[in-house]
Amino acid sequence: MVTKEEFILIEKRLEAWNEKLGIANFRLGEFTKGEMLEHIKAKDEIGQDITQVQLYYLRKLKERK
């Protein structure tokens, strides 16, 4: 389960992304930055999946230090 704070963290992270990043592929399809943000703000199943993927990335990045 994703916490409210984690949704906020990933929402802010995605908002900072460059608009030119294009499309992200997930198991449920392709999403633009705007679409990903909509799902994260809605805290729906897709938003939870996106948040979990981003949190996994951030944890792995932290481990590399």
Contact 28, 58 (CB under 8 A): no
Cβ count within 10 A of residue 46: 19
pLDDT tens digit string along 25-64? Answer: 777 788 889 999 999 999 999 999 999 999 999 999 999 8
Report the interhelical angle of 33-42 vs 45-63 (nearest 10°). Answer: 110
Residue 13 has pLDDT above 70, yes or no: yes
For residue 23, the model assigns a pLDDT of 74
Per-residue buried b or exposed e for 11-33, using 16+ beta carbons within 10 Å of the residue's own CB: beebeeeeeeeeebeeeeeebeb
- pTM, 2 dp: 0.85
Distance CA 14, CA 47 (A): 12
pLDDT tens digit string along 1-11? Answer: 899 999 999 99
For residue 24, the model assigns a pLDDT of 77
For residue 57, the model assigns a pLDDT of 94
